[in-house]
Copies of this chain bind each other. A is one copy, B any other.
Amino acid sequence: MVWTFIGAIAAILTSLSFIPQIARALRTKSVKDVSLVTVYQLSLGVTLWIIYGFYRRDPIIICANSISLITLIILIYLYFNYSLPQKQEKGAK
């Protein structure tokens, strides 16, 4: 029982871990120090975890990684929203 609880807390903490990063990006409107390779690599990784979860019929794997993927897609959207105008500004100078 206590182990299931530890596993559940672990899944919640890791799957929601990019929420503070999204909040920071929204607040500062700056993402230049965030590695896009890390975000892409994680997105591909959790997508494969979701596929693996369907094979194992494990709702925890599917659910936790789907939440991660949604937050990562939001972060990629913010990345291009905030980093492209900065680059264009630099190009115009």
Contacts and interface: CB of A to CB of B under 8 A. Distances in A.
Interface of A: 3, 6-7, 9-14, 16-21, 23-25, 28, 30-35, 37-38, 41-42, 44-46, 48-49, 51-52, 55-56
Contacts of A17: 38, 41-42, 45
Contacts of A28: 33
Dominant SS among interface residues on chain A? helix
A56 B16 CA distance: 23
A14 B46 contact: yes
A81 to B, nearest CB: 14
24 contacts: A3-B52, A3-B56, A6-B48, A7-B52, A10-B45, A10-B51, A10-B52, A12-B45, A13-B42, A13-B48, A14-B45, A16-B41, A17-B38, A17-B45, A19-B38, A20-B38, A20-B41, A21-B38, A23-B35, A24-B35, A24-B37, A24-B38, A31-B33, A33-B34
